Amino acid sequence: MHSSTEPSVTDSDAGDPLVNAESPEDLASENTSRVEREQASTSSQQAAKSPTDSLSGSGPVRWDRFALYNVAIPILLVVAGISVMKLLGKATADPQLPPKLDAASVLQSLPETRIEQVRSLASSELQLELMVDGNVVPFIESFVAAEVSGRVVEKMPICEPGTIVREGDLLIKIDDTDYQLEVDRLTKLKEREGNALAEVQQQVVNADRSIELAKKDEMLQQADLKRQIDLGGFASNAEIDQAKKALIQSQQQVLELQNQRDLLNKTRYRLESSLQLAETNLRVARTNLARCEVHSPISGVISSERVDVNAFVNRGTVLVTIEDTSKAEVAANLRMDQLYWVINQNGNDQLTQYELPQTKAIIEYKVAGRQGVVRHWDAMLMSYDGVGMDPSTRTVPVRLIVDKPSVVRDAVTGKTITVDQTNALMRGMYVRVRLQLDPQDDLVIVPAKALRPGNKVWKFTPNQTAFDSRLKELTQKAEMMISEAKKKDIDLVALAKEQEEKQLQEDQESQGADSGQTEGTDLASKAAFDPESWTAGWVKTSQSLYPIESLLVELANADAFATRAKKRDYWVCQAADGEIKDGDYVVLSQLGVVPQEGIAARANVEK
C-alpha cells in the first residue's frame, strides 16, 4: 500500500536514468515513514472510542476521573440528603380536641344551606303567561277593483293613501258614456218588445172572441141539420146535404180560429221572453253604468291607490286598497311545547281537532324612543292561521283578534284612554303577545337559583334523622380521638384550656384590628350560634322537574315574592309525580356533590 505522500514521477522525469535509479538507503527510509504513519492513525481511532474522552480530552484513558464523577459524587449527594432529613425531623400535627357532642355543636357542624319554600301557581295568586312575539296584520284588507272597463275621468280628493273613508264614500269615476248609450238602447228595445207583446195579446183576445162566435154558429148548423132530418119526407135530400155542408164549414172555421189562437200564444210567449231578456240586459247595463262610480265597500283607511285621472283601466284592475281599522289582527307562531299549554287548559274538553280555546291575551307594545312608555291592548286568541305547521320555522301560526284597537291601556298607570286611529294598533307593529293561561296541571314556582344543570333541584326535607346521623358520626370521631390522645399521653383538659386562652387572645386582637368597622358589623360578627334558628334535614337531588320555557309570572300583589317574580327570578315548572309540591323547600346555595342517598345539612326554616 502506497501513501498519498509518495513523490510523483512526471513525464519529463520518466526518461531520466538518474531519477529512476533509487538507492537502498532511500528505500529503507521510505518504509520507516509509512509504518509510523499507520501507527499514528490506529492510536487516534482508539482514543476516539475511549469512555474517558469527555473527561480527559485527547490522551490516555483516566479511570480515576470516571469513577469520581459517576460513582463517588452521586453517593455523597444521597448521603447528604438523608442526613438533612434526619436533622429536620418529622412534621406532626397539633393535637386537636374531640368534637363537642351537645345539640348546638352537632347542629353547627352540619353544612349550612340557604333554602326557599316552593309555592304552587294556584296559591301564589299569580297569572301564568305565555310570552311570544307577534306581528299586527289587517283584520280585513279590501282590494277595490274596477268592475267595468273605461277611462278614469275623476278621482275624489279623499282617494289618497292614509285617508280615513266611510262605507259608501265615492272614490273614483269612470267614463260612463258608452254605458249610458247602452242603457238608452236597451230601454227603447224594451219598449218595442212591450208594444209587440201587447199587440199579440190583443190578437189572442180577438181570436178567443171569434172562436166563441164560430162555436155558436156551429151549434145553429147542428140544430138546422137535425130539424131537416126530423122533417122526414118533407125535406129533400138536397136540403139535407146543404145543411150538412153548412155544419162542416162551421166546424172548419172553429178549427182555423183555434189554430190561429195557438200561433198567437206562441208568438206571445216568444215576445215575453224577448221582453224579459231586454229587461235583463237593461239591468246589466244600468248596473255597469252604476259601476262607473267606485265606492268604498268598507270603513277604514286607504293603504294604497294605483291609478290616476285619464288612465284606462280594465275590468278587474285593482284601484284602491282599504284596511278595516275597526278591529286588528295579530299573527303569532307557537312552538309545539307552547301549543301544549294553550290546549291543556281548564274547560277545553269539547274542542275538536282544529279548534283552539278562546284564550285572553294582552298585546304589549313599547314605544320606540320613549323609555318606559308601554301600551297594552286586550285581545283574544281565536284560531289557527291555516292548518299545520310552518315548514320553515317548525311552528304553528295562530290568530289573535283585538276588538278595540283604539282603546289603549297604559302599562304603568293602568289608565285606559281612547286614541285616534293614527295612534291605535296598526299593521306592521312588532308586538309581544302575553297569553293568559289557566293550566289543568298543578304547576309550582321555583327560584331560578335552585335550578341545577340537567333540570335538577336539591330538595331539603327537615328530619331529625339527619341530626342523629351527624351525632353518631361525631361520637365515633370523638371516641377515636380520645383513644389516640391516651396513647400519646395528651392531657385533653389542659389542651382545652390552652386553646380557650389562645382564642380569647385572638378575639382581643381582632377587636383592635376591626375598630374601623360599623357597630352593626361588630355585633353580627360576635353573634353567637342560635340553634333555635336552624333545623336539621336531608338534602336530596330531584330530577323530576320540567321548567316551562317562556312562561313567566305577572305581578299580582305587592309582596316581596311577587316583586321578585316580576324580575324573572322564578320559573314556572311542572313536577312529575308530585315530587316537588307546594310547601317543599329547595336549596339555593352550593353544596358540591350531593350523592343519591343525600347529605345531612341545616337550614333556617321559617316557622
3-state secondary structure of 89: coil
Quote the percentage of the chain above a pLDDT of 70: 80
Same domain, 261 and 196: yes
- Residue 320 forms part of a structural domain: no
Which amino acid makes up residue 133? D
For the entire predicted model, the pTM comes to 0.61
- Residue 533 forms part of a structural domain: yes
Instruction: Band the pLDDT of 578: cuts 50, 70, 90.
Output: confident
Same domain, 359 and 428: yes
For residues 214 and 254, the answer to whether their CB atoms sit within 8 Å is yes
- Residue 460 forms part of a structural domain: yes
Same domain, 353 and 395: yes
* Whole-number Cα distances in Å, 58 to 44, 47, 55, 188: 9, 7, 9, 144
Q: Give the pLDDT score at 7.
A: 40
In angstroms, the CA 32 to CA 40 distance is 13
Same domain, 478 and 595: yes
- As given in the structure block, the three cell numbers for residue 454 are 340537567
Could you tell me the residue range of the domain that residue 193 belongs to? 176-291
Instruction: Band the pLDDT of 357: cuts 50, 70, 90.
Output: confident
3-state secondary structure of 273: helix
The CATH number assigned to the domain holding 369 equals 2.40.30.170
Buried b (16+ CB within 10 A) or exposed e, 441-473: eebbbbbeebbbeeeebbbbeeeeebbebbbee
- Residue 589 forms part of a structural domain: yes
Q: Give the pLDDT score at 153.
A: 94
- Residue 304 forms part of a structural domain: no
Burial label for 41, CB within 10 Å (0-12, 13-18, 19+), is exposed
Number of domains the chain contains: 5
- Residue 514 forms part of a structural domain: no
Q: Give the pLDDT score at 146.
A: 94
Domain-ending residue, one of 395, 425, 440: 440
In angstroms, the CA 553 to CA 562 distance is 8
- Residue 521 forms part of a structural domain: no
Please determine, for residue 9, whether its predicted confidence score (pLDDT) is greater than 50: no
Quote the percentage of the chain above a pLDDT of 90: 27
Same domain, 340 and 409: yes
Q: Give the pLDDT score at 92.
A: 63
Nearest to 603 by CA among 114, 214, 62: 114
Same domain, 580 and 485: yes
Task: Among 10-19, 60-69, 210-219, 330-339, name the one with the lowest average pLDDT.
Answer: 10-19
- Residue 168 forms part of a structural domain: no
CA 473 to chain centre: 52
Same domain, 395 and 370: yes
Domain-ending residue, one of 440, 475, 509: 440
Same domain, 456 and 573: yes
Same domain, 183 and 248: yes
3-state secondary structure of 554: strand
